[in-house]
Amino acid sequence: MCRERIGIMTISEFFHLPQDKTQGPWVNLSAAFGYNTIANGYSSLSIGVFNDPIEDPEALLYPWTPLFIIGNGDSNTSRSNALTVLKSGKMGQVL
């Protein structure tokens, strides 16, 4: 399993995708770096501080999946992003 979390209180989701009903590989799908960062998008990367993860944990890739997030929030109750890049190619502060 290759799940990356570097920093303080970071969260990086991973999923078990079974090949049959009894076993299957653990697949790395995201990485979070920084302070209180969360990476929920399929194959996403979140860096910075107190980012808004935008999506719940995903098991598939969609056009609205956030692939890259730079967080610039102030606390758990005041999460925000300086920059977000979606799989569709859309990029900006607020999507």
Give the pLDDT band of residue 81 (cuts 50, 70, 90): very high
Report the domain count for the chain.
Answer: 1
User: Token pair of 91, please?
Assistant: 């990029």
pTM of the model: 0.74
CB 69 within 8 A of CB 86: no
Full residue range of the structural domain in which residue 11 is found:
4-92
Among 37-41, 48-52, 88-92, the range scoring the smallest mean pLDDT is 37-41
pLDDT of 26 reads: 47
Closest CA to 83 of 73, 8, 58: 73
Spatial CB neighbours of 77, under 8 Å, sequence gap ≥ 6? none
23 vs 19: CA distance, rounded Å: 6
